[in-house]
Amino acid sequence: MLRSCPSCGKTNRVPARHVSDQGACGACKSPLPPPASPVEVGDVEEFDTIVRWSSYPVLVDFWAPWCGPCRAVAPEVELAARHLRGRAVVVKVDTQKLPALAARYGLSGIPTFAVFTDGALVRQQAGAIGHMQIERLVDDVSPRPSALTN
């Protein structure tokens, strides 16, 4: 996976298993934060790696390019990814290119949003929704900061 450095603009290759981690730019050594936009998944192996190794919940947008509601909700997914940066990784799965993943999770329609934690599917919702509802899918399964301090 490729990630651009916000300081120097150089492109850095980041292994799928570290997509949620903060790293350092290979060129200027500045912090390389987790992605603030959806990560396009290229194959099933890459998907499985991200879901298994992510330090944060993984929110998956199952979509297809021919799907009108999927295209309509895409800006909301982008906004949710920016808001969830550092709390979740947002991943896009093109079900036309990766039908095995759609079949694996029994999708009957798209867009469908799914949340994974520790490699397991914990929440799934079909239909076009706004960014606040998308973010709430993650918030509903993530531990609250106050819960961590008690």
Question: Is 28 one of the annotated active-site residues of the chain?
Answer: no
Options 5, 8, 25, 67, the catalytic residue? 67
Element (H, E) at 123: strand 120-126
Q: Which of 121, 110, 124, 8 is nearest to 67 (CA)?
A: 110
Sign of the four-CA dihedral 119, 121, 123, 129: positive
31 bridge partner residues: 24
DSSP class per residue in 45-62: HHHHHHHHH-SS-EEEEE
Nearest residue to 116 (alpha-carbon basis) of 90, 95, 144: 90
Q: Catalytic positions, please?
A: 67, 70
